[in-house]
Amino acid sequence: MNRPNILLFLMDGVQGRLMQPDHPCHTPHFDRLAERGMGFSRAYTPAPTCSPARASLMTGLLPHNHGVLQVEHAVDADQCLLRVDRAHWAQHLSQMGYATGYFGKWHVERSDALENFGWQTHRVLGRSAHRAHSRQGGGSDVPLDPTLTHYLEGPAGYNPILHYGVTDVPPSERSMGQTALEALRFIRENPADQRPWCCCVSYHEPNEAMVVSRAAFDRIDPAEISLPETLRDDLSDRPNWYRRQQQIFAGISEEQWRTARACYYGRLSELDEQFGLLIEHLEASGQLENTVVIATADHGKYVGSHGMDGHNFGPFEEVYNIPLLVAGPGIAQRVQTPARVGLHAVGPTILEWAGADPLPSVDAVSFAELCAEPTRAEDYTEGFAENHGNRFALSQRILWDDEWKLAFNGFDFDELYNLDRDPNETRNRAADPECAQVLRALTAKMWRYIRDSGDQSLFNSHYYTMRTAAVGPNAAKEGGDVP
C-alpha cells in the first residue's frame, strides 16, 4: 500500500471566507492549493476558543468529552485537563509506522510532552504569544511603527492591550519563520521513500496581537478595505452579553478598523508565504503528488464584524466558519463544496486516508468519501458545536441544519438565524411566531446531538431552574425534522 504523507497546516483565528474564491487577501499558495483540491465553504470549528478547538482536532471529540473547556494557560491546573485516556490520531499513525512531527503552537494541554500524544519529533514555539501584550511589558517582541500601532485602553485598572501594529522585522526573523524551518528540517530528515511522514505545522497567527511586517501590510491599501456590513450592528434582539463585548471596541474608529483588517490580511499573506516554502520543497523533492495537504484554522475572528474583535463569544459565522482546503491523492480537484464538516472530523479523515485503524470513540466521522465523491455534499448538511465560555463561564450549543442555525444559550435567550436569507446574522428569529416550529425542531435535534455525544450534564437538565429550551431533552426521542 502506498500510504500518503500528511501535511497539516494549522492557523489560528482565520475567517473561512478569507480562503474562499474572490477573497481580499494575497495568498497565491493557498489559492493554488484550492485549485489542486477541494475547498469547504461551510467548514466549522466545534469550539470558538483555541485550546478546546485544538483538543477536538487531535481527538475527534467535542470539548465535554476530551475535558478541555478553557484556554489551558489562563486557569488553574485542575480546571483545564485533557483526559489522557482519550486516543489521539497521531498515536495511531505512529503505531502504524509513520514518522510524526509537530512544530509551532500546541496550546492543547500544559505538559508540552507531545510524545505522549503520538508526536515523535516536536518543538513548541511561540508560547510568549499566550501572555497579555501590555505596553508596560513592551507590547511586542519586535519594534513597531508608532504611527501604525493601536492599543486597546480602559476602563481604568486594565492594562493597555496591543491590538495591531506594523514592524520592519520580516517573518523569517519571528517565530512564524522558525516554525516553517523546523517543519522543513523534519521533512528532509524523514525521507518518504523509507516511511511515510505526518507533519503538523501550527501557528498563533493571524490571531492577536496582529503584528505584521511592513512588506505584507503594504500589499493592501487600508483605505480600500471594505468594512463589515455588521460593524454598526445594534444587537438589539441578541443576548445582552454581546452588547457588553461590543462596548469594549466602541472607541475604535473606522480608519483604525481598516488598519486592523489590513494587518489581519497581511498576517494571512505572511502565512501563505510560509506555506509556500513547504509546498515548494515537496514539489522539488517529488513528494507533493503523494502528500495529502490540509490547510485550516482552529477558529475564526471578528475583526470588526458585529462591532467586535476576538473570538471567544457569540455564535456568529465569523468565528465558527473556518477555512478548510484539502488536496492530494484520491481527492477531487477544483471543487468548492457546500458540505458542512467540522474541524474535529479532520483526524478521523486523516486516519482513513492513511489506511490506519479508526479512533475507538469520536464525535465526528471521516469525510474522506466525500473528498473522492464531492457530489455527496447533500449528505453533509448538519453541524454541531459547543461553547463553555472563556473564564466567564456560560453554556452555549450551536446547531446548523442546512440554511438554519440555532444558538441555544443557557445564559440568555436563544438565537435562530436563516443563513441563506440573512447571511450576516442580523435578525434573530427565535421569538418569531412564524419560526416556532423550526425552533422546536432544531432544539429537538440539538438534544439528540447532546444525548448521542454523552453530554450528560446538559442532557439531564430537567430541574426546574433549567427548563429554558423551546422543548426539553425528551424531544430527542421524537422527529424534529425542519419543515
Is residue 84 very low, low, confident or very high in pLDDT (cuts 50, 70, 90)?
confident
Burial of 419: CB neighbours in 10 Å, binned 0-12, 13-18, 19+: middle
Res 457 pLDDT > 80: yes
Res 101 pLDDT > 50: yes
Look up residue 333 and give its amino acid: Q
pLDDT in tens, 236-284: 999 999 999 999 999 999 999 999 999 999 999 999 999 999 999 999 9
Q: Whole-angstrom Cα distance, residue 242 to residue 450?
A: 25
Cis peptide before 345 (omega within 30 of 0): no
Look up residue 198 and give its amino acid: C
- Our CA angle for 59, 64, 66, nearest 5°, is 30
pLDDT in tens, 172-211: 999 899 999 999 999 999 987 889 999 999 999 999 899 9
What pLDDT does 81 receive?
Answer: 83
Domain annotation for the chain: domains and CATH numbers = 5-128+170-379 (3.40.720.10), 391-395+409-477 (no CATH)
